Structure 1
Amino acid sequence: MGETQQLKRTLTLFQVFFMGLAWMTPMIFFTSFGILFEASKGMLTAAYMLAFIAIFFTASSYGKMAKAYPVSGSALTYITKAIHPFIGFLVGWAILLDYFFSCIIAVLMFGININAQFPSIPTYVWIILLDAVIMIINIVGIKSSANVSRVFVIMQIIFIVLFCSVVLHHFLGNETLNAHSLRNPFTMHSNVTFSNILIGASIVCFSFLGFDSITTMAEETINPKKNIPRAIMMIIIVAAVLYFITAYLIELSYPNFTFKNPDSAGFELVKTVGGNLLSSIFIFILIFAIFTQGVSSMTTVSRLLFVMGRNSLLSKKAFGYVHPKFKTPVFNIILVSILSLSSIFISLDTCIKFVNFGALVAFMFVNISVIAHYFVKEKKRTLKECVSYLISPFIGAGFIFYLLTLLDKWSLILGSAWLLIGLIYLAVITKKKQVYELKRSEVLDKKVKVE
């Protein structure tokens, strides 16, 4: 297992695009509808718009750093190279929360939804089954993952278009609703303040997570300097259009919609809109959507672990290993599969808290890394370059930092505890390296004396 090899460069622009959309999962709008609806006090469209603004600046920064460093590693690589290895490690450690728990969320939601349809079979059976299938697909190769992702992402988009068509038909056929016509998404509920919408936006950012994941596949992408930035912008624009239209049509057509359970609110919404037929189609598509997200999430986290292993932040022998036949980091994939089984015991709410903290920390520092690399080190300071490499990432970093402060206290406590564990781990491996270097130096000195 000690052999470290190169990843295989096979992914095209559209394969990377679909991998990112699969990780993001457009159907996440429905699976997280109840949680996001409550967080935004019903002002979903406005919250999505504010979240998109923050994400747009950050996505632009990811694209710029992907051009500067077209290698796997995402935020870990960018911050290590542009700012400092110590900060890079901590941010990489933080984003592991995002990637690890995204895998857990995928298999957990799969188990919950299938169990709802087949209650006689325990949830953990479905979780174990999906986990095993995802592991095998990832081991066989990333191109197979991309091909699977494309089909299921298209299925999700078709369903969302169908759902919106039914909602629009309801709106146009209802004279009472038509009397209100189109309304400002920021003033639909007069009792909701702008600060409430901002708090909602900090949680709604969860729906956009995934565009950053494709930067971990740079070494497997053809012409990554060009294709990774393009794919990033394509992903967030397509997702934003889908989210905006769906949320706005729901707020116009069902202004008084309520639900019994936040976890199943999306299903309740679909059933209200389209009855049993649409809800059956919803469950069918959702199963494949969650499956695809699981495949993409495992691909992403296994690549990040590979980079950390290759850089000796983790065991190079294990984490930096690439299978000679499949050209995939098999050890990492198996490890992530084992850790994903913790979804049998953990709650969805806890998973989302970990994901949001890790992602927002990484987003903030990637914006800062653009300033450090281009404006400070490369001294790109013309008027146009100042806008691109100073003002834009500064706005992105500031917006993300503000959203980070709006997370609930448990998100901040759990995230901070994880960073503390990372600091302790870093101190241990640093001390071991120092001891090794000292012993190596002593051995060399003895050899020189003997000679």
Structure 2
Amino acid sequence: MVNSPAPALARTLTLRSVVLFGLAYMTPMIVLGTFGVVADETGGTVPTAYLLALAAMLFTAHSYGRMAAAHPVAGSAYTYVRRAVDSRVGFLVGWATLLDYFFLPMVIWLIGGAYLHAQYPGVPNWVWIVAFIAVTTALNVRGIKTAERVNDLLMVFQILVIGIFVLLSLRHVVSAGGAGALASATPFANGATTATGISAGAALAAYSFLGFDAVTTLTEETLEPERTMPRAILLTALIGGAIFVAVAYTTQLAHPGSHFADSGSAAFEIAKVIGGDLFSSVFLAGLVVAQAASGIAAQASAARLMYAMGRDSVLPRRIFGRVHPRFRTPAFNVLLTGAIGLIALRLDVATSTSFINFGAFTAFTFVNISVIATFVRERRSGTRHGVLSYVVVPAVGAAVDVWLLAHLDGRAITLGLIWLALGVVQLAWLTRLFRKAPPELTLTEDERLPEPV
């Protein structure tokens, strides 16, 4: 009897699909959701913070592109570090990254529930959270193409709301100060601007860019990944950054300074001023849609990271390394991510968010290091790469990421180190007290490039 090949991920996604997926993960409207907080830190110069964050993230995006082209498989930072640096270090990076991938969907669902509960206080918050989880989980189990189609619709509405917000902001500025007021340097620098404030604001703004890296988890479902992935990563970072800077600039023009009744909901305050009650309701709908789109992308990425680690048997392979025979998705991992999201019922946004940045900046740092390690290793074997592309750019990226990591609040660092310590314990068990490498599955070419069904 001939054994049938194991189900594998279907390769169907194009450059457009992957970029839209990354932008949905980034959630373009997050620039408005966090506007008041960043304005407080920067003294009313939010676009400057986003420009600095964009410049910083482009260095790391470049490194992700290099590694995605060299290793066109699922796993993102976990796989890159494992193959370029060391299998044990790769495991710990993957473990740290789980904080980002596990808790980002939770934060997304929590924020979406909070928005809706504020508008409809008669409905318990847990109802909204469970509804978010149920819908995104069902879409992601059904398949990446189904999630992609829904994601496209949600992204169109989200971009439409952002566009209306920008236009209303510009109209408000012109009506108050004339057309000349549209060309102002005040959103970038004012009397309250300080280097410390801009740096702190950039560290916060960097959170908005989490997502350009997540597209690499879709590598095994992308057509021509060696060519498509590097382009998709840079395009996601550039397009997202351009949206952030443009929206921050027009919003800062409409509301100079950093004084709000509540910085946590500053965008609602501005929306009501520039568009009245009707637009503030539309704006709320846009924020909820943004959270739904981002939740789909975040949950899909978390499931695929666990799939890569399960396939390598660093997580139980029979559970995490399986693909649903019909839907060809890592269905158990999707369901597990949804179940973990129920923890949001007992947490607030601040607590759950504190888990995320530690894992993200740890992964960013080591992906940059992986590029340098690739340069050194392949140079010894006779393959030469450009020093600028493989040493200078990733070195700058690593330095920036370490700086961002060091500027996280104490709670984030403490929780991150505790999680990392648990990872060291798991690694010690897998490697018999570090005496052997963590297990890894060697893929055949057919398994790397499955045909869509």
Could you say whether these structures have the same fold, taking a TM-score greater than 0.5 normalized by the shorter chain as the test?
yes
Instruction: Indicate the residue corresponding to 1:366 in structure 2.
Output: 367
CA shift digits 1:55-101 (9 cap, x unpaired)? 00100110110000000000000000000011111111111111111
The residue number in structure 1 matching 2:449 is none
Q: 1:31 aligns with which of 26, 33, 36?
A: 33
Aligned to 2:42: 40
Q: Distance in 1 between matches of 2:188 and 2:177?
A: 23
* Residue in 1 that maps onto 2:24: 22
SS at match of 2:327: coil
Which amino acid in 2 is paired with 1:208?
F
Name the amino acid aligned to 2:346: F
1:332-411 maps to which residues of 2 (within 5 A)?
332-378=333-379, 385-411=386-412
**Structure 1 pair 381/207, CA: closer, same or farther in 2 (3 Å)?**
farther
Q: Distance in 1 between matches of 2:350 and 2:382?
A: 44
TM-superposition CA deviations, 1:148-205 (whole Å, max 9, x none): 11121122112212111111122222238946952165422x2332122112211110
Distance in 2 separating the partners of 1:379 and 1:244: 42
**1:412 to partner: Cα distance:** 1.2
Which amino acid letter does the alignment assign opposite residue 333 of structure 1?
Answer: V
Matched with 2:167 is 165
Candidates 124, 127, 130, aligned match of 1:125: 127
Q: Residue 394 and residue 381 in structure 1: after superposition, are their counterparts in 2 closer, same or farther (change >3 A)? A: farther
Q: Which residue identity does 2:192 align to in structure 1?
A: N
Note if contact 1:375-1:381 (Cα within 8 Å) is conserved in structure 2: no
Report the identity percentage. Answer: 39
Contact map agreement 1:374 1:380 (CA 8 A) in 2:
no
Distance 1:380 1:41 in 2: 52
Contact 1:16 1:146 in 2 (8 A): no
CA distance in 1, matches of 2:383, 2:321: 41
TM-score by length of 2: 0.91
Query: Residues 253 and 261 from structure 1, CA distance in 2 versus in 1: closer, same or farther, beyond 3 angstroms?
Result: closer
Q: Which residue of 1 aligns with 2:442?
A: none
- Corresponding residue for residue 440 of structure 1: none
Q: Among 112, 137, 140, which residue is 1:138 paired with?
A: 140
Q: Is the 8 A contact 2:268 2:280 kept in 1?
A: yes
Q: 1:292 is matched with which residue? A: 293
C-alpha displacement of 1:375: 4.0
Aligned 8 A contact 1:41 1:200 in 2: no
2:31 aligned partner, one-letter code = F
The change in CA–CA distance for 1:379 and 1:153 in structure 2 (over 3 A counts) is: farther
Distance 1:154 1:375, change over 3 A: farther
Per the TM alignment, residue 230 of structure 1 is displaced from its structure 2 partner at its CA by 1.2
Cα distance change on mapping 1:181 and 1:329 into 2, 3 Å: closer
- The answer on whether the counterparts of 1:23 and 1:210 sit within 8 Å (CA) in structure 2 is yes
Q: 2:68 corresponds to which letter in structure 1?
A: A
Which residue pairs with 1:93 in the alignment?
A: 95
Answer whether contact 1:20 1:210 (CA < 8 A) is retained. yes
CA drift of 1:377 comes to 2.6
Structure 1 residues 198 and 257, CA gap change in structure 2 (3 angstroms): closer
Distance 1:253 1:267, change over 3 A: closer
- Displacement after TM superposition at 1:369 (Å): 0.6
Equivalents in 2 of 1:143, 1:7: separation in Å? 12
Find the aligned partners of 2:381 and 2:372 in 1 and give their Cα distance: 10
Who is 2:213 aligned against? 212
In structure 2, C-alpha distance between the alignment counterparts of 1:136 and 1:416, rounded to whole Å: 33
Q: Determine if contact 1:149/1:292 at 8 Å carries over to the other structure.
A: yes
- Report which of the two has the higher share of helix: 1
Give the aligned length: 433
Q: Using the TM superposition, give the Cα deviation of residue 261 of structure 1 relative to its aligned residue in structure 2, in angstroms.
A: 2.7
**Residues of 2 paired with 1:52 and 1:283: CA distance?**
26
The answer to whether the Cα contact below 8 Å between 2:172 and 2:254 also exists between their aligned partners in 1 is: yes
Q: 1:112 to 1:81 in 2, by over 3 A?
A: same
Q: Which residue of 2 aligns with 1:80?
A: 82
| Higher mean C-alpha displacement, 135-144 vs 194-203 | 194-203
The 3 A distance-change label for structure 1 pair 372 and 255 is same
Q: Which AA in structure 1 matches 2:242?
A: V
Distance 2:11 2:383 in 1: 35
Q: CA deviation at 1:418?
A: 1.1
**Residues 199 and 403 of structure 1 are in contact (CA less than 8 Å); yes or no, is this contact kept in structure 2?**
no
Mean Cα displacement is larger for which, 352-361 or 249-258? 249-258
| Inter-partner Cα distance in structure 1 for 2:381 and 2:400 | 23
Query: How far, CA to CA, are the matches of 2:416 and 2:347 in structure 1?
Result: 16
Within 1, Cα distance between the matches of 2:93 and 2:130? 30
Cα 1:432–1:7 change in 2 (3 A) is farther
Residue 354 of structure 1 and its aligned partner are, at CA, apart by: 1.4
Instruction: List per-residue Cα deviations over 1:196-240 (Å, max 9, x = no partner).
Output: 211221111011110111101100111111111111111111111
Are 1:380 and 1:386, in contact at CA under 8 Å, matched by a contact in 2? Answer: no
Is the CA contact 2:187–2:253 (under 8 Å) kept in the aligned structure 1?
A: no
Mapped pair 1:109 → 2:111: yes
* Structure 1: gaps of 5 or more residues: 438-451
Aligned: 1:241 with 2:242? yes
- How far 1:376 sits from its partner (Å)? 3.6
If you compute each CA radius of gyration, which structure gives the higher value, 1 or 2?
1
Of 11, 20, 25, 2:13 maps to: 11
* Cα pair 1:26 1:153 within 8 Å, conserved: no
Deviation of the 1:310 alpha carbon: 0.5
Instruction: Determine the structure 1 residue equivalent to 2:253.
Output: 252
Match in the other structure for 1:56:
58
Structure 2: how far apart are the matches of 1:359 and 1:293?
Answer: 16
Question: Cα distance, 1:305 vs. partner?
Answer: 0.2
Name the CA shift for 1:342/1:172 in 2 (closer, same or farther; >3 Å). same
Question: Aligned-pair distance for 1:16?
Answer: 1.0
Aligned to 2:446: none
Contact 2:375–2:384 (8 Å) recurs in 1: no
> Aligned with 2:432: secondary structure?
helix
Root-mean-square deviation (Å): 2.3
Query: Are residue 174 (structure 1) and residue 176 (structure 2) matched?
Result: yes
